[in-house]
A and B are shown apart, each in its own frame.
Chain A
Amino acid sequence: MYRYDEFDQAFVRQRVAQFRDQVNRRLAGELSEDEFKPLRLMNGLYLQLHAYMLRVAIPYGVLSAAQLRQLAFIARRYDRGYGHFTTRQNIQYNWIRLDETVEILEALAEVEMHALQTSGNCIRNTTADPYAGVAADEIEDPRVWCEIIRQWSSLHPEFSFLPRKFKIAVSGAAQDRAAVKFHDIGLYLRRNAEGEVGFEVLVGGGQGRTPVVAETVRDFLPKRHLLSYLEAILRVYNLLGRRDNIYKARIKILVQSIGIAEFARLVEAEWAQMDGSSLDLPEEEVARIQAYFAPPDYPAAPEVDLAAQRRAEPAFDRWLAANVARHRVPGYAIVTLSLKPTGGIPGDATAEQMERVADLAERYGLGEIRTTHAQNLVLPDVRRADLQALWRELETAGLAAPNIGLAGDIIACPGLDYCSLANARSIPVAQDISRRLGDPERQRLLGPLQIKISGCINACGHHHAGHIGILGVDKRGEEFYQVTLGGSGEEDAAIGGILGRAFSAEEIGPAVEALVDTYLELRADEGEPFLQAYRRLGDAPFKEKLYGTA
């Protein structure tokens, strides 16, 4: 993984000093809240319902064991002993004091981390495929380009006061595990007919109030032009994005309003005027960064046949089927640790659990951990021969729920329990559904089923992209829940459609069970997953079951 050199270290130290000065001026009253707010947001510091919330950047979801231990220390020393992994691969802490934030930033800087630009109208954390570098279906490692984008976008002087937030995601594999099409800029690494690898560049995707699937602005961009091309897109957005209405200020609104063809024309015109030679990185610098992501020397590992162990322990078998994915290197596996225990709070981990994971990453892997936008953790380099031993340890740590990609792997935002933007609670709904659908054998039978819950229209729970999406709303002071069906965050990106009237907090759990029952009754066979069945059947049978009307 990337390691800071003297420049990166100097930058992050200077950034901490700058923020210390800004905090002190705020506490002394030299800065008003209005003046301070964009500055603290640029440092990922929100004022939420109960306290300040600090969102720490986990660049493209990659962590070392040392970094994860420091995150655990911060949870213990400065928070209430836990942290929340987010739908953008970051971590956030809910009980932070403004007057301790600088100390926390210093603790982060010690392990080459920061909280820069995890909020505010600037370029946010660039997210990536959590299996980057190890996926069996990978074309090229997206992390190299994520690191290049990270540096380029850090305190970019021209793009720190954009009309609105800006999110970029990169995928380098056949399967899209990063929800690329729901980002302001999405990048797919692709091979063209000549065998060269370049980027398909998409713009204007997003969820929130007006969900939109991104469109392609450039079919094939040679890699070496990435930064200048991104700069052209950002500049067009900075100049033309709406400044009069925060609900219409994302790039998706601009692209929708002028059309992708006109948007592309503006970008290409701007790009043609730019001096790429000063913006684009020389080969040497790309190679320097690439070297940090070179595949490690994998000690030879035997290809083990786990059939006997699977027969002997059905629980191990279920966990293998759901939580373990194929690794590029024979004898190795990619293991996802579920932060969705039955009845638990999706994405939360205690300091103890974080420390256990750091240990496990060192003993069973090469010391690296990944975060996913589904709020889970990944150990990317586990020897197949160690899988059963690892599984037993994960069970004792409460990290082995065999539910990745299944009904229990619910994505939920913090909702009205924590967030000042929320209209309804999402966590209790997630817990209720998790218990109702908790039985591991039943989940296995149900197959892939992504349930995503947001506590307000900002859609941080990505409900538009859920096979079953749930949106919490406030109706006359009561919490109600609207159901959408048929969303998807993968290459076949789609926005879920509203099914009908909203459900109360008591009704939503049974409603989701009824949807699941309908699917089971009507699916062609066990090989037809929920999304596919829904696309074949349409809304009608689900509406009928829930509302008694077709």
Chain B
Amino acid sequence: MTQQVVSANRLADGRVVYLAAEGGWTRELAAARRADGKEAGAALLAEAEAGVRRCEVVAPTLVELQEEAAETPGELPGLRRLRERIRDRGPTRETGRLLTEKPAATAAAGGL
């Protein structure tokens, strides 16, 4: 059973945020509130809608975490979809970064 978190964009600056375990919104995936199962996910999303009404965020959506297969106890699962991983960590290729990086050997290298 995969867990879910709610991902959204902040209204004022468009940055990716997660509904936080402690309430409010956080930029850190590690601090996101996780939901187990369909009902909990729906409840999370409903709470996120309050953030829309308060003009904090736009377009909250439920996103899945990877299957729990942590090799290290306590290691948090990452995001399942590549799109969500890119939203979380930034573009895999970015002009400013590029000027300081060595080129990857293949297109797939440097992937997430």
A interface residues, Cβ below 8 angstroms from B? 26-29, 33, 47-52, 80-82, 94, 96-99, 343-345, 348, 350, 416-418, 422, 425, 427-429, 431-432, 435, 477, 479, 504-506, 508-509
Whether A47 lies near B87 (C-beta < 8 A) is: no
Q: For residue A348, which residues in chain B have a CB less than 8 angstroms away from its CB?
A: 95
Question: From DSSP, what is the main secondary structure of chain B's interface residues?
Answer: loop
CA A51 – CA B13 in complex, angstroms? 6
CA A477 – CA B85 in complex, angstroms? 12
| Size class of the B contact interface (CB-based, 8 Å) | 35 or more
What mask results when residues 77 to 112 of chain B are scored 1 for a CB within 8 Å of chain A, else 0? 000111100110011111110110001101110110
Q: For residue A418, which residues in chain B have a CB less than 8 angstroms away from its CB?
A: 91
Query: Nearest-CB distance from A502 to chain B (Å)?
Result: 14
Whether A345 lies near B59 (C-beta < 8 A) is: no
Query: Nearest-CB distance from B6 to chain A (Å)?
Result: 16
Q: For residue B59, which residues in chain A have a CB less than 8 angstroms away from its CB?
A: 33, 47
Whether B107 lies near A416 (C-beta < 8 A) is: no
Best-surrounded residue of B11, B16, B92 (most CB of chain A within 10 A): B11
- 4 residue pairs, one from A and one from B, having the closest CB atoms: A432-B107, A417-B91, A51-B14, A97-B13
Neighbour of A477 across the interface among B52, B81, B86, B111, CB < 8 A: B81
B9 CB–A CB distance under 8 Å? yes
Q: For residue B91, which residues in chain A have a CB less than 8 angstroms away from its CB?
A: 50, 94, 417-418, 427
Whether A428 lies near B15 (C-beta < 8 A) is: no
Whether B92 lies near A425 (C-beta < 8 A) is: yes
**Which residue from chain B places its CB closest to the CB of A341 in the assembled complex?**
B98
Contact A428:B14 (CB < 8 A) given known A27-B55, A49-B83: no
Contact A506:B12 (CB < 8 A) given known A28-B55, A47-B59, A431-B93: no
Whether A50 lies near B81 (C-beta < 8 A) is: no
CA A428 – CA B80 in complex, angstroms? 20
CA A428 – CA B98 in complex, angstroms? 11
Known: A50-B15, A80-B94, A428-B93. 14 other contacts (CB 8 A): A47-B9, A49-B87, A52-B13, A80-B95, A98-B14, A99-B13, A345-B93, A350-B99, A417-B92, A417-B93, A422-B83, A505-B106, A505-B107, A505-B108
Best-surrounded residue of B81, B82, B94, B95 (most CB of chain A within 10 A): B95
**Which residue from chain A places its CB closest to the CB of B89 in the assembled complex?**
A50
Q: For residue A417, which residues in chain B have a CB less than 8 angstroms away from its CB?
A: 86, 91-94
Contact A51:B103 (CB < 8 A) given known A428-B92, A428-B108, A505-B108: no
Query: Nearest-CB distance from B84 to chain A (Å)?
Result: 9
Neighbour of B12 across the interface among A48, A80, A98, CB < 8 A: A98
**Which residue from chain A places its CB closest to the CB of B108 in the assembled complex?**
A505
CA A33 – CA B55 in complex, angstroms? 9
Whether A97 lies near B110 (C-beta < 8 A) is: no
Q: For residue A343, which residues in chain B have a CB less than 8 angstroms away from its CB?
A: 103
B58 CB–A CB distance under 8 Å? yes
A-B contact pairs, 7 of them (CB 8 A): A29-B53, A50-B14, A50-B16, A345-B93, A345-B94, A431-B104, A509-B107
Contact A47:B58 (CB < 8 A) given known A416-B82, A428-B104, A508-B107: yes
Whether B15 lies near A416 (C-beta < 8 A) is: no
Whether B98 lies near A344 (C-beta < 8 A) is: yes
CA A173 – CA B107 in complex, angstroms? 39
Query: Nearest-CB distance from B9 to chain A (Å)?
Result: 6
Whether A506 lies near B106 (C-beta < 8 A) is: yes
Whether A33 lies near B52 (C-beta < 8 A) is: yes
CA A52 – CA B16 in complex, angstroms? 11
Whether A48 lies near B95 (C-beta < 8 A) is: no
Q: For residue B16, which residues in chain A have a CB less than 8 angstroms away from its CB?
A: 49-50
CA A462 – CA B81 in complex, angstroms? 26
Contact A82:B106 (CB < 8 A) given known A49-B86, A50-B14, A417-B86: no
Whether B86 lies near A345 (C-beta < 8 A) is: no
CA A51 – CA B92 in complex, angstroms? 15
Query: Nearest-CB distance from A332 to chain B (Å)?
Result: 32
Whether A350 lies near B13 (C-beta < 8 A) is: no
Query: Nearest-CB distance from B107 to chain A (Å)?
Result: 4
CA A29 – CA B103 in complex, angstroms? 45
